[in-house]
Amino acid sequence: MLQGKRILLIIGGGIAAYKSLELIRLIRRDGGAVTPVLTKSAEQFVTPLSASALAGDKVFTHLFDLTDEAEMGHIELSRSADLVVVAPATADLMAKMAGGHANDLASTLLLATDTPVLVAPSMNVRMWLHPANQRNVSMLAQDGIRRVGPDEGDMACGEFGPGRMAEPTAILAAIQAMISDGPLSGRHVLVTSGPTHEPIDPVRYLANRSSGQQGNAIASALAALGARVTFITGPASAAAPLGVDVVPVQTAVEMLEAVKAAMPADAAVFAAAVADWRVTDAASGKIKKAAGSPPPSLSLAENPDILATVAQMETGRPRLVVGFAAETDDVIENATQKRTRKGCDWIVANDVSPETGIMGGQENAVTVIDETGAESWPRTSKEDVARKLAERIAAALG
Ligand code: CTP
Tell me the domains of the chain and their CATH numbers: 6-179 (3.40.50.1950), 188-397 (3.40.50.10300)
- Whether 344 is catalytic is no
| Percentages (nearest 5) of helix, strand, coil residues in the chain | 35, 25, 40
The pLDDT value recorded for residue 77 is 82
Q: Ligand 1: which atom is nearest the Cα of residue 302? A: 8
Nearest partner of 106 among 143, 140, 66, 136, judged by Cα: 66
Pick from 196, 253, 324 the residue to mutate for probing ligand 1's pocket: most ligand atoms within 8 Å of its CB: 324
Does residue 246 carry a pLDDT above 80?
A: yes
Nearest CA owner, ligand 1 atom 17: 325
Higher pLDDT, 314 or 328: 314
Ligand 1 pocket member 205 (CB < 6 A): no
Ligand 1 pocket member 128 (CB < 6 A): no
Ligand 1 pocket member 148 (CB < 6 A): no
Does residue 97 carry a pLDDT above 80?
A: yes
pTM for the structure as a whole? 0.75
CB atoms within 10 A of CB 151: 16
Ligand 1 pocket member 252 (CB < 6 A): yes
Q: Ligand 1: which atom is nearest the Cα of residue 322? A: 15
The pLDDT value recorded for residue 360 is 73
The radius of gyration computed from the CA coordinates of the chain, to the nearest angstrom, equals 24
The pLDDT value recorded for residue 292 is 83
Nearest CA owner, ligand 1 atom 21: 325
Residues 179-201 have a mean pLDDT of 93
Ligand 1 pocket member 303 (CB < 6 A): yes
Q: Ligand 1: which atom is nearest the Cα of residue 323? A: 15
Does residue 325 carry a pLDDT above 80?
A: yes
The whole-angstrom separation of Cα 323 and Cα 337 is: 12
Nearest CA owner, ligand 1 atom 16: 325
Residues 283-310 have a mean pLDDT of 92
In this prediction, residue 22 has a pLDDT band, given cuts at 50, 70 and 90, of very high
The whole-angstrom separation of Cα 64 and Cα 86 is: 20
Does residue 235 carry a pLDDT above 90?
A: yes
Residues 240-267 have a mean pLDDT of 94
Q: Which of 1-5, 308-312, 330-334, 394-398 has the lowest mean pLDDT?
A: 1-5
Task: State the chain's maximal CA–CA distance in angstroms.
Answer: 87
Nearest CA owner, ligand 1 atom 14: 307
Ligand 1 centroid, distance to 389 Cα (angstroms): 19
**Mean of per-residue pLDDT scores for the chain:** 92
Pick from 198, 307, 328 the residue to mutate for probing ligand 1's pocket: most ligand atoms within 8 Å of its CB: 307
Residues facing 366 on adjacent strands: 350
Residues 56-65 have a mean pLDDT of 81
Residues facing 119 on adjacent strands: 86, 147
CB atoms within 10 A of CB 75: 14
The pLDDT value recorded for residue 66 is 55
Residue among 157, 203, 261, 300 flagged as catalytic? 157
Could you give the 3-state DSSP secondary structure of residue 211? Answer: coil
Does residue 49 carry a pLDDT above 60?
A: yes
Backbone angles phi, psi at 314, to 5 degrees: -80, -35
The whole-angstrom separation of Cα 322 and Cα 299 is: 31
The pLDDT value recorded for residue 72 is 59
Ligand 1 centroid, distance to 186 Cα (angstroms): 29
Does residue 69 carry a pLDDT above 70?
A: no
Ligand 1 pocket member 276 (CB < 6 A): yes
Helix (H) or strand (E) holding 267: strand 267-270
Ligand 1 pocket member 274 (CB < 6 A): yes
